[in-house]
A and B are shown apart, each in its own frame.
Chain A
Amino acid sequence: MPVEVVMPALSPTMEQGKIANWTVKEGDKVEAGDVLAEIETDKALVELEAAADGEVGKLVIAAGTSDIPVNTPIAYLLRDGEALSDIEATQAQTLSQATEETETSETTGATPTQPTNPTPIAVTIAEDPELPADAEMKEQTVREALRDAMAEEMRRDEKVFVIGEEVAEYEGAYKVTQGLLEEFGAKRVIDTPIVEHGIAGLGVGAAFAGLRPVVEFMTFNFAMQAIDQIINSAAKTHYMSGGLVTCPIVFRGPNGAARRVAAQHSQDFSAWYAHIPGLKVVAPYTAADAKGLLKAAIRDPNPVLVLENELLYAVKADVPVSDDYVLPIGRAKILKAGADVTLVSHSRSLDACLEAAASLSSEGVDCEVIDLRSLRPLDTATVIASVKKTNRLVTVEEGWPVAGIGAEITAAVQNEAFDYLDAPIARVTGLDVPLPYADNLEKMALPSTEKVIQAVNAVCYRQG
């Protein structure tokens, strides 16, 4: 039977294409791999190759024809001993099969096969609250905004309490809990010995029993001692108990590299916790988001990790003065709109993105900068909408490249916006090494403005 050549599906979402031109004519002998035609899609010009050896028996559709549905026969190759008349028989058979498929499809309601890609559990996420134009604002550091979030929630709900190492008398190793002991007393602001696993388990137990603990880790590096309780107890128990046991707990503290404290004290756990079903994970960048997201975390009935950053604690910005400034968990924010390329990041790496965007802007490259804010749920919809506009994407994170946040975003974008990409996605990450101590090595190992600019130049195919 002659070999049918059909309009190829060049991407999962391609529905039709155009034959730009035939590179063979009827009667030509071809071998498998020879180019038969150039197919034009809305994104690219692609060569169509012969799947088998043979003779070009018939070109069914003329060059220049557009909107040819995928899988439509466009040519036939004759193999040894076959004649042109065999083609008609093949065409008739194809038609009857198509009819059968249509009928089957109508009777069962089946849809064409789509790639089955795993997706996270679907959740509905609200919009950011609308702030009235005359909303009262106050300039605060991230540190103060976090403290206010806790204090306000402790006033609102007496079940909320804070526990951790040095949180009470010393007012926090990074002074985030300043004033809390004075206002709420030792019953609700509790110092512990250095026992991370114990504190995490204690917090989980208190949450099971109906309280709303805010567990401070001096840094998330030390939460590695406690990660069993965070994952095995806090994240999984609601599911394992069939919904009978709830764990409304917040684990918070600084995450990521500080400066010159070496490998055990400089680690970005974003991807680690974002991996875990049952947890929610936020990583605020601005003071306002720090307040709104920590308040949301405390009110959330699920376990929430708030990944703060030591080097952002002293950064000031306007924060709404409101006891009810609560942000949705799971919604990214566009920090800077742009048309040419999308930069996606979270937490302190956004410094590098914004600086790169400012620098590139003077060279005529208009970057859109997205702050993920939440890593689980991950707002891929905002990223995908942006990529459909800019067609180019750079992800930026401090964590290691393997199985990182950028890898997850890349998977989502290729799945839902493959045809919109004009260049492979670029990832800027921490180097794939434990963070070194020496000043110059440490800088080499972390994302920087220069590395982001290089990545933007690469996806824009421009000379830096």
Chain B
Amino acid sequence: MQISEDALKQAYRQMKTIRMFEERLHDEIMTGEIAGFTHLYAGQEAVAVGVCEHLDYNDTIASTHRGHGHCIAKGCDVRGMMLEIYGRADGICKGKGGSMHIADIEKGMLGANGIVGGGPPIVVGAALAAKLYGDGRLAVAFSGDGACNQGTTFEAMNLAVVTNAPAIFAFENNHYSEHTGVAYAVGSEDIASRAESFGMKAWRVDGCDFFKVYETMGEVVDHVRAGKGPAAVEFDTERFFGHFEGDPQNYRGEGEIARLRKERDCITIFREHAAKNKLVSKKDLDAIDKEVSDLIDKSVEESRAAAPPTAEDVLTDVYIDYI
């Protein structure tokens, strides 16, 4: 599949933004400035970006509790996201939602979701709307190997087939549903075969290789936009941090994370592939690194100094109006 140099640079920028955003949060959470549950997406960037680079502004996605990567990949404002996670008035959701609830309908981001399996049925609804608009738009449900066991996900897959909705079920198999290995929690051979058994076409792809993800998603998106029904993709990917920040991760193998960071890092794999095939120069990629690093630094600096919401804000937004 052809992809322009500019598009590649943009994809790399997005992946790198997610990575630096998450690694910076990991550090900042240690300082105690950010409380609550934060679930980091680092390690899975090639999936969010490889999917979202195929989407238009009017395509929609729904995310999970591990949602920062999907938000950034779909175009949510990074600065606004950082402010949100710091609980500031100028946060993307005015400091009311926080890490697990970032949403921005103008970007087609229907919302991260604190409930495992909450997203897929919502996406079928958005896909049904897309079908009625009739302009080829579609909706994507990001779910993990944990959510693939929820009844809500099963219902959503069946509904999507029954209504022939242009929905894509993007299953990111990072091998852990919270702290439990996928070998224990998922009874079937894989997740894609479950989707197939509901009557939709499914793909399996290495989620740590942006180029493979991007190419596969090209086929998937073409299939769905052509009105051939919903589709599913199972991505084999890796989670570099714990289920949440603070998770001791004693269920993971000795040296497992170090090995994954060495062998399965989608950023490294991207750079190696780009260099080998002379797609983007190292100099350009390094420049992007610097640009992203500055953006994250600035966002954190600004977030630390920003004002919290005011007492009036606590009562607004329960309803659209109060007439």
List the interface of chain A (C-beta within 8 A of B): 165-166, 169-170, 173, 191, 193-195, 197-198, 221-222, 224-225, 258-265, 431-434, 436-441, 444-445
Contact = CB atoms under 8 A, between A and B. Distances in A.
6 contacts: A195-B149, A259-B36, A261-B36, A261-B37, A438-B309, A441-B308
B95 A169 contact: no
Which secondary structure dominates chain B's binding surface? loop
A434 B318 contact: yes
Most buried by A among B91, B115, B313: B115
Contact of A439 (B87, B147, B179): B87
Given A191-B180, A222-B115, A438 B88 contact: yes
A198 B185 CA distance: 13
Nearest to B186: A193
B199 interface: no
B113 A170 contact: no
A83 to B, nearest CB: 59
A173 B308 CA distance: 31
Nearest to B179: A170
Interface in B49-95: 84, 87-89, 91, 95
Contacts of A264: 100-101, 113-115
B146 interface: yes
Nearest to A440: B308
A433 B35 contact: no
A193 B186 CA distance: 7
Contacts of A224: 115
B96 interface: yes
Contact of B115 (A165, A198, A225): A225
Contact of B178 (A194, A433, A434, A441): A194
Contacts of A259: 35-36
Contact of A260 (B36, B151, B180, B186): B36
B133 interface: no
Given A191-B184, A197-B151, A262-B36, A441 B116 contact: no
Contacts of A225: 115, 117, 150, 152
Contacts of B152: 225
A259 B246 CA distance: 14
Contacts of B150: 194-195, 197, 225
Nearest to A435: B96
Given A194-B185, A438-B87, A438-B95, A261 B100 contact: yes
Given A194-B146, A261-B37, A437 B315 contact: no
A193 B98 contact: no
B125 interface: no
A89 B152 CA distance: 78
A431 B315 contact: yes
Contacts of B7: none
Contacts of B100: 261-262, 264-265
A173 B223 CA distance: 41
B311 interface: yes
A437 to B, nearest CB: 3
A193 B36 CA distance: 24
A194 B149 contact: yes
Nearest to A441: B314
B98 to A, nearest CB: 3
Contacts of B309: 436, 438, 440-441
B152 to A, nearest CB: 8
Contact of A445 (B37, B89, B314): B314
Nearest to B115: A264
A92 B258 CA distance: 102
Given A225-B115, A438-B96, A170 B251 contact: yes
